[in-house]
Amino acid sequence: MNRELFKDIFNLDYIQDHYQLWSSGEATIGRRIPENLDFSAVQDFLATHPDSDLMLEEAQNHFDDDDPLSATATDLIFTYLDDLQTTLGQH
C-alpha cells in the first residue's frame, strides 16, 4: 500500500470533517465523539489496518469526488469509535 497516497486521500481535515457531519447526523446515534479526539490516531488506525489497501481502492474507484471515503473506512471508523467508547467506559 502507498502510505503517502493513503494519508493524502484520508487526510486529517477530511476525517475531521466527516466526524463533524456524523456528530450531527443519524450515523452516530449511540456514539459520543470525544471533543479531544486524536484524528491522527484515527488516521494511523486506518492506515495500518489490514484492509487499508481495500479502503484506498474503494476511495479511488468512488464516483463522488467530494466524498471519497470508502464504505470500509466508514465502518472501521465507527468500530474505532465504539471501541474507544468502551475503553473510556462511555458505551
Q: Could you state, in order of their start, the residue ranges of all structural domains in the chain?
A: 3-22+39-88
Predicted TM-score (pTM) of the model is: 0.70
Cell triple for 11: 487526510
| Pick from 70, 73, 53, 38: nearest CA to 5 | 53
14-28 residue pLDDT tens = 788 777 777 666 555
Does the pLDDT at position 46 exceed 80? yes
Bigger pLDDT: 15 vs 85: 15
Residue 88, burial from CB neighbour count under 10 angstroms (0-12, 13-18, 19+): exposed
Contact 78, 30 (CB under 8 A): no
CA distance 43 to 91: 22
At residue 91 the predicted structure's pLDDT band, cuts being 50, 70 and 90, is very low
